[in-house]
Structure 1
Amino acid sequence: MKYFAVLLPMADKEKSALYRPDHLAFLEKMRDEGHVRVNGKFTDGSGGLVIYRADSYEQCEEFVKQDPFIVEGARDYEIIEWEAVWNED
């Protein structure tokens, strides 16, 4: 399993506010299914970051394209494969 950092820069603030509940529900579902490790917004309002777990870039992009923020044009996205090192306490 690979990890991917997905940047979600702001594309449309009004759409982002409107679809935020759907986006958060989507991420919760993806976390429950083991596809999302962590997510959060940037404090400057410029967007957010999601760390996905997927077998390939293509699978990650399939997940990302299901996000209501992407579907509705509220955010853009950039996917970068990430070699994660975890500190498991």
Structure 2
Amino acid sequence: MFIVLLRFGANRAAAPRFMEGHRAWLDQGHAEGIFLLSGSLQPAAGGAILAHGLSRDALDDRLRQDPFVAEGVVEAEIIAITPGRADPRLAFLAG
């Protein structure tokens, strides 16, 4: 499982031009069950994604397809987590 931090980069001002593509990219990740959660970093610092069910290499490939990453709007930081314990509602993540 991974936490992906998408912090605004040097090309932040171009975000509106690539927002539609970024949202479609997020929608695809959610529809495929790879992205469990996505949202904004506060205050206005970028975004974050909780991803699972793929390798680090596959995640890197997927991130390169995000228009925000490709165009330098954000820079991705990936944090790998090996779940050990979880609330019963999230037990599927610890398996």
Q: Which bracket does the TM-score occupy, shorter chain normalised? A: 0.7 to 0.9
Considering only aligned residues, what root-mean-square deviation do their CA atoms show, in Å? 1.7
Change (3 A) 1:45 1:54: same
**Residue deviations 1:17-69 (CA, integer Å, cap 9, x gap):** 22112111110111101111110012311111011124321111111111111
Q: Flag structure 2 segments of 5+ consecutive residues without an equivalent.
A: 91-95
**TM-score for the superposition, normalised by structure 1:** 0.84
Contact 2:34–2:54 (CA<8 Å) still a contact in 1? no
* Pairing 1:65–2:64 present: yes
Contact 1:4–1:54 (CA<8 Å) still a contact in 2? no
Q: Structure 1 vs Structure 2: percent identity of aligned residues? A: 25
Q: Tell me, what secondary structure is at the counterpart of 1:38?
A: strand
Residue aligning to 2:8: 10
Residue aligning to 2:89: 88
Q: Tell me, what secondary structure is at the counterpart of 2:38?
A: strand
Residue aligning to 2:46: 47
Change (3 A) 1:17 1:87: farther
Deviates more, 1:22-31 or 1:47-56: 47-56
Q: Between Structure 1 and Structure 2, how many residues are aligned? A: 87
**TM-score for the superposition, normalised by structure 2:** 0.80
